[in-house]
């Protein structure tokens, strides 16, 4: 029970990787707030966490909206009194249309940046007072190997995830005096509904480029997350942990 007594918020926690993160944190002893824009999915995951014997709460949030993020933080503060862990998982990916640099609309670009980049900033800003109440905390941002691969016609998504890496490194320095650690996870392809729109041939090429030749599962990311938010990584901040079956090798 590495996270016993800890309170965590997982944005986008109602499905896919976010659901895996939320259940994984609960399995290691944390009480978990499932923050999602979809009420039905979020409440279902909160119920699963309750069945594990942990305290849980669903909170509807639009991470791209400042007032919505502030309200989420207020609800968490009222219920738990503070916050130890934030997982910034909410993002636009599933069903996101590809487009060339000339074809991409400003509306599409702005929406992706609002959720994937601005949403990370707004959520962190909203919950920081709750972490200071606890004397510190751990933030994990969801990046992506897309920021390294830079696939054509996916500039909106690639750039948004590269920005998440920059936010992670910048805030690791800025929030260190508050004893708040900030790290990121960059997953490779993970078998959730988000992959349904990916052409099978493209997915197979990605798998064949990996050392471990299979699609990942949300559970494959949980170990890295628990490590990053627990005291096992107490001397670690500003890092991006790539979990992708050996598809990308950095260093």
Are 160 and 144 in contact, with CB atoms under 8 Å apart? no
Q: Which of 26, 157, 167, 230 is catalytic?
A: 157
What is d(CA 71, CA 192) in angstroms, rounded to the nearest whole number?
29
Could you confirm whether 21 is annotated as catalytic?
Answer: no
Are 28 and 3 in contact, with CB atoms under 8 Å apart? yes
Are 158 and 147 in contact, with CB atoms under 8 Å apart? yes
Between the alpha carbon of residue 33 and those of residues 11, 20, 80, 182, 231, the distances in Å are 8, 13, 10, 19, 20
Alpha-carbon Rg for the chain in angstroms = 17
Longest alpha-carbon distance in the chain:
52
Coil, helix or strand for 75?
helix
> Catalytic positions, please?
157
């Amino acid at each position: 029970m590495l996270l016993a007594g800890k309170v965590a918020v997982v944005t986008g926690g109602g499905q896919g990787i976010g659901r895996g993160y939320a259940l994984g944190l609960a399995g290691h002893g944390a009480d978990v707030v499932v923050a999602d824009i979809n009420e039905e999915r979020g409440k279902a995951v909160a119920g699963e966490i309750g069945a594990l014997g942990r305290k849980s709460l669903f909170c509807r949030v639009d991470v791209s909206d400042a007032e919505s993020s502030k309200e989420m933080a207020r609800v968490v503060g009222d219920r738990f009194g503070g916050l130890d862990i934030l997982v910034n998982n909410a993002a636009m990916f599933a069903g996101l249309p590809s487009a060339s640099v000339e074809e991409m609309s400003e509306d599409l670009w702005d929406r992706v940046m609002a959720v994937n980049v601005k949403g990370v900033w707004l959520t962190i800003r909203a919950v920081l007072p709750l972490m200071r109440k606890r004397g510190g905390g751990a933030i994990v941002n969801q990046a992506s190997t897309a920021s390294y691969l830079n696939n054509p016609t996916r500039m909106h998504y690639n750039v948004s995830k590269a920005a998440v890496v920059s936010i992670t490194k910048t805030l690791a320095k800025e929030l260190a005096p508050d004893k708040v650690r900030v790290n990121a996870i960059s997953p490779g392809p993970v078998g959730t509904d988000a992959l349904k729109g990916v052409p099978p041939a493209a997915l197979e090429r990605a798998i064949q480029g990996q050392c471990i030749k299979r699609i990942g599962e949300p559970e494959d990311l949980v170990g890295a997350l628990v490590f990053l938010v627990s005291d096992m990584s107490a001397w670690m901040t500003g890092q991006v942990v790539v979990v992708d079956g050996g598809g990308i090798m950095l260093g």
